[in-house]
Structure 1
Amino acid sequence: MKLKNSALERLVQEDDPVQPVWDILYDIWSAESDSVANHYAYEKQASNFERLLLDVYGEFYDTLADRCVNDTSLSVPENGTFVVMDAMSVREAPLFVDVLDSMGYDVDVGYSYSGLPSETKFYRDRVDYRGIKREHKTTDVKSRDPTLDGDEDLVWCRFPDALLESIQEGKTELSTIDEAYEKTENAFRAIVDQLEADRIVFGSDHGYVRLDAGHAFPVSEKWKNRLQEVFTGGRFVSVGDGDASDLVKRGIVAEADGWYLPIGRHTWPARGKYSTFQHGGLSLHECLTPRINATLK
């Protein structure tokens, strides 16, 4: 993709580089498209941007890791509801914004951070999810046709993550990512329809990275083998369980908060069942998550 020089200048000139990175990423995904399938075709542009970012401003990932360690948040709004859409990424945010607009909401979109590693358990630990549940009426949504009381303070929806997990390389329960989104949208609409709150904040515990052909970062056989030795089929490993200092020095892996995490879309061959939709590492789409504020008009 081609970026204006002014966009690249913002990355290195601003005291906080996260906002310009988010703006560029959200601009990619909020471009007009005539179908959900065409919307998800922006993946190539998003991948190209992340590759460019890593090449010209790799220090950004140090900032991102620091924010994921220190600034992860979940705050139930006063007189409102917080809805966690599990694994919602920046890809889905513009689609949900269109849905909310059609349902009569004014919408403002910002960003938030996953925990590290970028998986649900670590996010919940960071935000003290157990403590929040003790103080607020909470429900878990595991059905695409949920039934709510309407006065919940906190809703945790298992979609789109539960659907993405079913899309496997060579064996799919769902045929496409846009089909997974469309099924997720059914649950999303049902949640919004049933909540009585005038204000709803939508967040995510983590996003996901696509590692299918054309979207992953190529690496040499030498570094593929090292990645496989260190991570096998996952996207994080404890520093105490191995030494990846050579991968860190190479700029392929980050060390943060006692974990080794592959940076961006670096990938490697994995034995057995393998999903091209993964999380746990340190990439834009895993760690920089949407925060959507919706208020009834």
Structure 2
Amino acid sequence: MASRDVFTADEVSEVMSRENVFDGAFKCLRRIWSDPKALEARQLSSSEYRARQLERELEKLYSPLYDDLIGQMGGHPVASAESGSVVIMDALSLREGFQLEREFQEETDWEVELDWAPVERLPSETNFITQAWFDSHAPSAVNRDDFRFVGDMNVPQLPGTSPEYVWTRYPDKRLESAMKGNYSTENVSDIYADVKALLEEIITESVHSEFLVSSDHGYINHLGNNPYSLRDDLEEGLSGKFSGRSREVANGYVYQQLEEAGVIKRANDHYMVAGHYSWTQRGGTKRIMHGGLSLPECMTPVLRINTETA
């Protein structure tokens, strides 16, 4: 797929001319993921490929892409909320964010706007971000009067404080089992439908009319073709040293080799796999992962909803 299939000429110009290249990338990702059929089984592979190719081309055009992304971490809107309801949906990505924006605008009279924010910190793992936001090792362990953890599709009584914080285990709970090995056991579009229904119930149950909906991180989906290729020695290095998309920094020639090739990046005493590189592991390769350094993992959706419209 040529870059012209991903970018329009105007979008190329806008991405590279903006003060923040990720704002331009956000606009390109909107064109890919706001399509009503983007998450459906027949189109998902194509949507994912276009998003990967977009990121690959951006990195070629703008070599500091990942260094800039690392530099923008911190100051997430969740951390500075002062009122209303803050809903953190574990692993909600821009894929789902664009669909929620489009459908809520079409189906409700709510005011709905979508923007993006970089993850609070790296690696983009829930435990690190929960520690940064709530000084706890996991969302289920947070013990605060203004916080509720929702572990399934049933919404408990919400705090009613301002702000109130609601952390849902979805969609990550379903994504973890959605694609194992080479087989899909659940459709991403079905997972999205549950996420939308859960969010609607939270909005209905809350005493608030203003909502900030976001996530701790997004995710990589390795479904379908991938424009990121690895030399045999680099693939062997990744498969031997990485069980996921991040690991603690360690000494060794293999890490040096991977870092010099731009396959991994270093931040916060961790190495993270950059972009959409994938590698084969024994026992089947997970198709959905997070913890690395890529646009769909590290650009989180920031959905602002006002249900009390004039």
**After superposition, what is the alpha-carbon deviation per residue over 1:171-204, rounded to whole angstroms, capped at 9, x for unaligned?**
8684322222222222122112111211000011
Give unpaired runs (5+ residues) of structure 1.
none
Query: Match for residue 129 of structure 2?
Result: 123
2:60 is aligned with 1:60: no
Q: How does 1:205-244 map to 2 (within 5 A)?
A: 205-215=216-226, 217-231=228-242, 233-240=243-250, 242=252, 244=255
Inter-partner Cα distance in structure 2 for 1:223 and 1:270: 13
Larger mean CA deviation between 70-79 and 107-116 belongs to 70-79
Query: Match for residue 291 of structure 2?
Result: 280
Query: Match for residue 85 of structure 1?
Result: 89
Specify whether residues 261 and 245 from structure 1 end up closer, same or farther in structure 2 by C-alpha distance, changes over 3 A only.
same
Aligned-pair CA distance for 1:154: 0.5
Inter-partner Cα distance in structure 1 for 2:272 and 2:18: 26
Report the number of matched residues. 295
Query: Match for residue 263 of structure 1?
Result: 274
| 1:182 corresponds to which of 183, 186, 193 | 193
TM-score where L is the length of structure 1: 0.89
- Alignment-mate amino acid for residue 133 of structure 2: V
Inter-partner Cα distance in structure 1 for 2:295 and 2:114: 16
Identical residues among aligned pairs (%): 24
Inter-partner Cα distance in structure 1 for 2:132 and 2:13: 33
Aligned-pair CA distance for 1:57: 1.7
2:117 is aligned with 1:112: yes
Does the Cα contact within 8 Å between 2:124 and 2:297 map onto a contact in 1? yes
Specify whether residues 294 and 242 from structure 1 end up closer, same or farther in structure 2 by C-alpha distance, changes over 3 A only.
farther
| 1:157 corresponds to which of 146, 168, 189 | 168
Specify whether residues 11 and 240 from structure 1 end up closer, same or farther in structure 2 by C-alpha distance, changes over 3 A only.
same
Inter-partner Cα distance in structure 2 for 1:122 and 1:291: 19
Give unpaired runs (5+ residues) of structure 2.
none
Query: Match for residue 204 of structure 1?
Result: 215
Inter-partner Cα distance in structure 2 for 1:35 and 1:236: 26
Inter-partner Cα distance in structure 2 for 1:37 and 1:74: 32
- Alignment-mate amino acid for residue 202 of structure 2: I
Q: SS of 2:266's equivalent?
A: strand
- Alignment-mate amino acid for residue 56 of structure 1: L
Larger mean CA deviation between 10-19 and 105-114 belongs to 10-19
| 2:302 corresponds to which of 274, 291, 296 | 291
| 2:206 corresponds to which of 171, 179, 195 | 195
- Alignment-mate amino acid for residue 231 of structure 2: S
TM-score where L is the length of structure 2: 0.85
Inter-partner Cα distance in structure 2 for 1:35 and 1:284: 17
Aligned-pair CA distance for 1:83: 0.1
Aligned-pair CA distance for 1:142: 1.2
Does the Cα contact within 8 Å between 2:93 and 2:215 map onto a contact in 1? yes
Aligned-pair CA distance for 1:292: 0.5
**After superposition, what is the alpha-carbon deviation per residue over 1:72-106, rounded to whole angstroms, capped at 9, x for unaligned?**
45236444100001000010012222443324310
Q: How does 1:9-28 map to 2 (within 5 A)?
A: 9-28=13-32
Aligned-pair CA distance for 1:35: 7.5
Aligned-pair CA distance for 1:129: 4.6
Specify whether residues 167 and 241 from structure 1 end up closer, same or farther in structure 2 by C-alpha distance, changes over 3 A only.
farther
Inter-partner Cα distance in structure 1 for 2:274 and 2:171: 23
- Alignment-mate amino acid for residue 194 of structure 1: E
Query: Match for residue 157 of structure 2?
Result: 148
Q: SS of 1:125's equivalent?
A: helix
Does the Cα contact within 8 Å between 1:51 and 1:217 map onto a contact in 2? yes
Inter-partner Cα distance in structure 1 for 2:95 and 2:21: 20
